[in-house]
Copies of this chain bind each other. A is one copy, B any other.
Amino acid sequence: MNTFKNKLYHIIFEADTKAGKLFDVVLIVAIIASVIVVMLDSVAELNAKYGQLFILLEIGFTILFTLEYFARIYISEHKLKYIFSFFGIVDFLSIFPTYFGFIFGTKSTALITIRTLRLLRVFRVLKLIGFISEASELKKALKASKRKILVFLLAVVSLVTVMGTLMYMIESVDSGFTSIPRSIYWAIVTLTTVGYGDIAPSTNLGQFIASIIMILGYAIIAVPTGIVSTEMKTLKENERNRNDMIVCKNCDKKTSEINANFCFNCGERL
C-alpha cells in the first residue's frame, strides 16, 4: 500500500517519469477544457443547443478533479496544511460550485465565476515543468521596482482624482460626467489611453483639458516601462558579472576585475 502511495506521489508531484508527464498533460487539458465548457455554457445560443452536454461534461470534470483532490489529500504528509494552502483552496473551489449547485439547485453567476478560478491550477503544473525560472526573473524585477511603482501609482491616482473632479466641474452632465466617481472613471479611461468614448468631453474647455491629460498620459506611460526595464537590466548585469568573476582560493571572495593579480580582500596572489 505504501508503494502505491509512493507511486501516486511521483505521478502527481513530479514530471520526470512518463506517467508523471502524462498526468500533467491530462490535467492541463482537463483544466482548460473545463474552463472552455464553462465559457461556452454562458453563450445563450450554445446553452440552448448543447446545455445537456455541457452539464454532463461538467459532471465528468468535477468527478475527475474530486478524485485528484482526494488523491492529493491522501498523499500529503500534512493534510491540513495542504487543504489550507493557496493551491489547496483553489483545488477545493474548482469542485465545490458544481456540488453546491446540484444540492441547492441554483445556477447563479457567482458559482460560474468561481469555476473559472480553475485556470490558476495550470500555474502549479507549469511550476513542475521548469517555466518557473522565467516567472521568478519577472517577479524579481517587479519586486525590485515595487516601491517605485507604488509611488508612481499614488501619483497617478492623485492626478486622476484632481483631473476627474475638475472635469466634473467643467463638463456638462449630458456628456456623461454625472458624478465625481464617474468623472474619475473617465480620467482613468483617458490617462491609460483606453478611451471607450462612452463618456467624452463635448465643451471646448473640456476638450482642451482632456488633451492635456492625454499628452500627460503619453509621457507618464514612459515611467513604469523605464522602471521595469532598468531593474531587469540591472538584474541581468549582476547575474552576468557574478559568472565572469574571479574567485580567490584563500578567502572565497569574488572580484569583477578581470585582470586582478591579487585578491582585493586578503592580498593572496591569484
Contacts and interface: CB of A to CB of B under 8 A. Distances in A.
A158 B210 contact: no
A266 B255 contact: no
A260 B265 contact: yes
B230 A236 contact: yes
A228 B226 CA distance: 6
A101 interface: no
Copies in the assembly, this chain:
4
A256 B240 CA distance: 14
Interface residues of A, number: 102
A87 interface: no
Contacts of A142: 223
Given A181-B39, A259-B254, A224 B224 contact: no
Interface stretch (A3-11, A64-72, A164-172): A164-172
A203 to B, nearest CB: 11
B214 A188 contact: yes
Contacts of A162: 113, 116-117, 119-120
Interface stretch (A16-24, A48-56, A75-83, A133-141): A133-141
Given A158-B122, A262-B262, A221 B225 contact: yes
A94 interface: no
B196 A161 contact: no
Contacts of A57: none
Top 8 nearest A-B pairs (CB, nearest first) are: A194-B195, A262-B267, A196-B197, A260-B264, A226-B228, A197-B197, A222-B224, A42-B180
